[in-house]
A and B are shown apart, each in its own frame.
With several copies, the nearest count.
Chain A
Amino acid sequence: MVVRLSRRSLSLAAVERRLRTARSGGVVLFAGRVRPDRADGRTTVALLYEADRAPALDRLRALEAEARRRFGARDVVLYHRLGRVRVGEVSVVVAAACAHRAQAFDAARYLIDELKATVPIWKEERARPARRPPRRPGRRAGRSAGSGRAR
């Protein structure tokens, strides 16, 4: 079992190492990534995640126990990034290893739905305006060395 809140990026290879329980027939993994598109036409460049850390870890551990009880999950990974996560990066991973695939799908679905609804984690958007003219490839040619990204 891995329950973790971290500022560091996560590779699926690390998740895989954690799910090597030989008796589990099926592993279902969900990875959520930061999407660029917004309803208002602006473009997200990053999300800032924060958590109330102690109760968030308590809730994640409770979800893990519930996945074991309800779906017979033998191994569970719950991983959420904190801090600034750029577009395209993975912000959350849940995974469940169960004897059979139907249980594993149900467990992973349960875990991500409950994580989003009941774990004290919040996000704040960092966006740039819509229809910004494309920047010229000649970089840092002018006086401004700014990156053009919102902070």
Chain B
Amino acid sequence: MLRPVQVHLFASARQLVGQRTVRWTVPAGGLPAREIVAGLERRFPRLGPTLRVSRFLRNDRYLADLEETVRPGDEFAVHPPYGGG
């Protein structure tokens, strides 16, 4: 049984979706990150504008690009623009 990808949503992304974490099923060989992002927008259309200004991480590392493969059991994070301080 394949473990899902855990998609962690922060700040405005979390508020728009109403959930902190979304489970995402991917095939055994994984998916390019851009397909996860596109899938999120299809499932949560209001998230679109936020996704276009967000950064993405796989297992706590920033993605080099959206072609990076996301595999079953990975953690995937959506970071809207930062606002600390």
Contacts and interface: CB of A to CB of B under 8 A. Distances in A.
Is there any pair of Cβ atoms, one from A and one from B, under 8 angstroms apart in the complex?
Answer: yes
Interface of A: 32, 49-52, 54-55, 58, 80, 91-92, 101, 112, 115-124
Contacts, number: 52
A97 to B, nearest CB: 15
Contact of A115 (B61, B77, B79, B84): B84
B85 interface: yes
Q: How large is the interface on B (under 10, 10 to 19, 20 to 34, 35 or more residues)?
A: 10 to 19
A100 to B, nearest CB: 11
Interface of B: 8, 10-12, 57, 60-62, 77, 79-80, 82-85
B10 A116 contact: no
B11 A50 contact: yes
B73 to A, nearest CB: 17
B84 A49 contact: yes
B11 A124 contact: yes
A38 B54 CA distance: 25
